[in-house]
Amino acid sequence: MSAEAPEIAVQGLTMAYGENVIQRGLEFNISKGEIFVIMGDSGSGKSTLLKHLIGLNRPAKGTIAYSGLDFWNSDAKAQLQTTHRFGVLYQSGALWSSMTLAENIALPLQTFAEFSESEVADIVSFKLSLVGLAGFEDYYPSEISGGMKKRAGLARAMALDPEILFFDEPSAGLDPISSRRLDDLILELRDGLGTTVVIVTHELASIFAIGDRGIFVDADAKTQTALGPIAEMRSAPPTEKVAEFLSRGEAETNEGTKP
């Protein structure tokens, strides 16, 4: 693992469900400490791409490497070590419904790290307070609201101090204020801990506020049509669709910031 190898390197990735090809020829790098945004129109396979990046789906073709380690050509042990560097926030939070919030966060800590019971309890409370859920340790996922589930999911994703955080549409279903807070939290995590962040979103306010670089996957072209810094993509969009996607956001952000 050389020092200059990018955090995530995707080469010639083709994603398919059976014979149905979703995207082909995806090629991009994500470097350490970057906030990388996956954009695309609906049905373009953004979430599928995320599932490939977190090792859930196997590429039909191509490689995905983490710090130079080719994930799908490594043994199970190396794969496990790699996935332990990830934290994933699923769209619905995906908390384990038979466990309390505290148990949800404690489980990976107890299983994969050597902590005493009181340490685990401390870490759990700390992570929960980090996302503004202090005091909710003994609640079950069904007893809290959707936005809270999402935040609890983030607390769990951060349990093992991941180096890479993946977000699947973090602001979907959140009110503008919570969504803004989540953005701030993501920025702080990146600045404070140097966490690499990969986000699937079409919330343009979010994209412009926190995104460093991004990729645009096109449902019709079935491949990436834009890659690079968000600002560049915005000033010189490579295709009409990208321009359309990002310009509607401009209108939205103007409205959003005016009052």
Partner 1 sequence: MNVEETDILDVAVPARATPTFKQDFVDRLSKSETAHVRFSLGEAVVWDGATLALIKSLANTARDHSVSSDFERLPPQVQRVLALTRDAAKDLDEDTGEEGSGGRSDFFTRVGEKTVGFLGASQTTSSFLREVGGSLRRFFTGRAQYQKSDLIQFMRDTGPQAIPLVGLVNLLLGVILAFMGAIQLQQFGAQIFVADLVAIGLTREIAPMMTAIILAGRTGAAYAAQLGTMQVNEEIDAFKTFGFSPTDFLVLPRMLALAVMTPLLVLYADAIGMFGGFLVGVLLLDISGTEYLNETRSAIDMTDLMIGIFKASIFGMLVAIAGCMKGMQSGRNASAVGLAATSAVVTGIVSIIIATAFFAVLTNVLGL
Q: Least distance in Å: CB of 209 to partner 1?
A: 26
Cα 66 to Cα 82: distance, rounded to the nearest angstrom: 7
Cα 234 to Cα 243: distance, rounded to the nearest angstrom: 7
Q: Which region among 32-40, 61-69, 86-94, 249-257 touches partner 1 (by CB under 8 A)?
A: 86-94
Q: Least distance in Å: CB of 154 to partner 1?
A: 12
CA distances in angstroms from 47 to 91, 115, 250, listed in the order given: 10, 34, 24
Q: Which region among 31-39, 95-103, 231-239, 246-254 touches partner 1 (by CB under 8 A)?
A: 95-103
* Among 46, 15, 9, CA closest to 28: 9
Task: Please work out the total of residues on this chain that contact partner 1, with binding judged by CB under 8 A.
Answer: 23
Which residues are CB-neighbours of 87 under 8 A, at least 6 positions away?
A: 157, 158, 159, 160, 162, 164, 165, 166
Q: Which of 2, 20, 42, 111 binds partner 1 (CB under 8 A)?
A: 111
Is 74 one of the binding residues for partner 1 (CB under 8 A)? no
Is 173 one of the binding residues for partner 1 (CB under 8 A)? no
Could you count the other beta carbons within 10 Å of the beta carbon of residue 207? 23
Q: Least distance in Å: CB of 12 to partner 1?
A: 24
Which residues in this chain contact partner 1 in the complex, by CB under 8 A? 51, 54-56, 80, 83-84, 86, 88, 90-92, 94-98, 107-108, 111-112, 156, 160
